[in-house]
Amino acid sequence: MAFEDQRTTVYKLDPAHPGSETLPTLRSEELLLNMGPQHPATHGVLKVILELEGERLVKSTPVLGFLHRGVEKLAEDGTYHQFIPHTDRLDYVCAMYNNFAYCRAVEKLMNITLPDRAEYLRTIVAEVQRIIGHQFWLGTQALDIGAMTVFFYCFRDREILMDWFDELCGARLTTSWYRIGGVERDFTASLLDKLKQFLDYFPPKIDEYVIFLEKNRIWVGRTKGVAIISAEDAVSFGLSGPTLRGSGVDYDLRKAEPYSAYPKCEFSVPLGKNGDTYDRYWIRVQELYESVKIIRQCLEQMQEGPIMADVPSVTLPPKQRVFTNLESMIQQFKLFSQGFDAPPGEIYCGTEAHKGELGFYIVSTGGGKPYRLKIRAPSFIHMGAFDHMSRGYMISDAVTIFGTYDIVMGECDR
């Protein structure tokens, strides 16, 4: 039976027609894929338009702003004190460090120096916050890549510190514990005890995390050599924190422009070599050990003393006095409703948060409210390098690359 499939007829070579041996070419084009804004691995609401060639990323365009709340505009409406709770909502995973960065900026504007004890308290809590931030990062980054176990271990230990924060200031996430010119309250004996216990408990746990990850071939395969950025590019993009130090650039504001109690502590700044995801992971783990070291030293060196600078025109009176003393109550009321009179001028003050350089640029024209307040958010600037860092990698690596910045959209979109 002479049955001929139609396809065979089309592709059959016919010597009578010389052109007929060329087969029809297959059409190839790039695939456009929307990732997010409701993807669990984007850590919030981030959308990225990925241009794919097969499974390779050709170009990626981040679409930001799903969490934009106009914090910078809000700042212009409130007094300097009133902005502190807003900073909690920037990087909502690490509120303490945002409070810290903001209060430092205002103190620089007002030219206030703090008593020693306040500086130590601040440094201790900031480092506890760094531990929490890195634990959170380590757990979620590993979870994104597929290593689930370490997530539970990190969150188990993070919970201890979260409870510690709860006892310190009454909140787990939106802390608002820092005040302009000092801190809200001192440590109690129970807090000190718990912190010391944690410092003994924690370092062996870090070793545990490391074992879970570094013995995991899949995890190592998905982080080593992924999202490499050279030192030159990292600096040019304005990356900061572990993302910059992963490429071997020695830039840590705690060392470069020492502040608070950091100059009195001995600690090292770990640096990476290859600038890949694995190096950035390694730096963060090393920083956990360093943070423990810093807290230990601070606890040893800390002496009794006031926890608030004595500048009545700017700093708040102690809470006990507010309830018993009329003048203090009036002072508290005036500071919160009218604010203090800031000198006209402008300052920029950067602080090394665990994600990178968190800076506040404040323009003052006098009076109780900032004229303009600009937040230099590391997550936003890191997203600027996303396209550069993701080109040529596989689509599944996109998740690794978000993770390696330690991105939090509350801070990115402000």
Partner 1 sequence: MSLKELANRLQEDFATGLIKAVEWRGELAVTVMRDRLHEVAQFLHNDPAMDFDYIVHVSSVDWPDDEERFEVVYEFYSIRKRHRIRLKTRVPESDCIVDSLTDLWKGADFMEREVYDMMGIRFRNHPDLRRILLPDDYTEGYPLRKDFPLRGKGWRDTFEFLDETAR
Closest alpha carbon to 72 in 82, 64, 63, 83: 83
Comparing CB distances to partner 1, the nearer of 191 and 347 is 347
- The helix-helix angle for 116-145 and 397-405 (nearest 10°) equals 180
Binding to partner 1 in span 205-224, by CB under 8 A: none
Return the number of the residue (186 or 346) whose C-beta is nearest partner 1: 346
Smaller CB distance to partner 1: residue 238 or 306?
Answer: 238
Beta bridge partners of 301: none
Closest CA to 108 of 345, 388, 290, 320: 345
Q: For 109, phi and psi rounded to 5 degrees?
A: -65, -45
Tell me if 412 sits within 8 A of 356, measured CB to CB: no
Q: How far is the CB of 361 from partner 1 (least distance, A)?
A: 5
Measured CA to CA, the distance from residue 151 to residue 296 in angstroms comes to: 26
Give the nearest distance from C-beta 384 to partner 1 in angstroms.
Answer: 4
Distance CA 388, CA 379 (A): 15
CB 332 within 8 A of CB 312: no
Q: Which range of residues in 32-40, 123-131, 237-245, 399-407 is near partner 1 by CB under 8 A?
A: 237-245
Structure tokens at 64: 């930001």
Q: Would you say 61 or 268 has its CB closer to partner 1?
A: 61
- Read off φ and ψ for residue 62, nearest 5 degrees: -70, 135
Asked whether the CA dihedral 126, 127, 133, 137 is positive or negative, the reply is positive
**Closest separation in Å from C-beta 358 to partner 1:** 11
Q: How far is the CB of 44 from partner 1 (least distance, A)?
A: 14
> Minimal distance in Å, beta carbon 347 to partner 1?
5
Q: Is 359 in the site for partner 1 (CB under 8 A)?
A: yes
At 154, the amino acid letter reads C
d(CA 153, CA 212): 10
Q: How many CB atoms lie within 10 A of CB 25?
A: 6
Burial degree of 223 (CB within 10 A; 0-12, 13-18, 19+): buried
Instruction: List the helix and strand counts (H, then E) for the chain.
Output: 18, 8
Q: Which is nearer to partner 1, 71 or 316 (CB)?
A: 71
- Cβ atoms within 10 Å, residue 371: 15
* Closer to partner 1 by Cβ: residue 121 or 253: 253
252 binds partner 1 (CB under 8 A): no
**Residue closer to partner 1 (CB basis): 222 or 245:** 245
Task: Tell which positions 315-354 bind partner 1, by CB under 8 A.
Answer: 345-348, 350
Site membership for partner 1, residue 193 (CB under 8 A): no
In the set 12, 68, 196, 334, which binds partner 1 (CB under 8 A)? 68
Binding-site residue total for partner 1 (CB under 8 A)? 43
CB of 410 to partner 1, least distance (A): 13
What CA–CA distance (Å, rounded) separates 265 from 259? 11
| CA-to-CA dists, residue 205 to 36, 140, 150, 154, 289, angstroms | 34, 17, 11, 9, 11
Spatial contact of 379 and 354, defined as CB atoms under 8 Å apart = no
Asked whether position 411 contacts partner 1 by CB under 8 A, the answer is no
CB of 257 to partner 1, least distance (A): 8
256 near partner 1 (CB under 8 A): yes
Extended beta strands in 73-158, E state: none
**Residue 237 or residue 393: which is nearer to partner 1 going by CB?**
237
When asked if residue 230 is in the footprint of partner 1 (CB under 8 A), the reply is: no
Stretch that binds partner 1, among 8-16, 127-135, 218-226, 235-243 (CB under 8 A): 235-243
Which residues from 107-136 bind partner 1, rule CB under 8 A?
108-109, 111
- Quick note: the x/- pattern for partner 1 over 374-403, rule CB under 8 A, is x-x---xx-xxx--x---------------
| CB of 57 closer than 8 Å to CB of 398 | yes
Q: Which of residues 26-45 bind partner 1 (CB under 8 A)?
A: none
Binding site for partner 1 (CB under 8 A): 64-65, 68, 70, 72-74, 76-77, 108-109, 111, 233, 235-239, 249-251, 256, 345-348, 350, 357, 359, 361, 363, 371-372, 374, 376, 380-381, 383-385, 388, 413-414
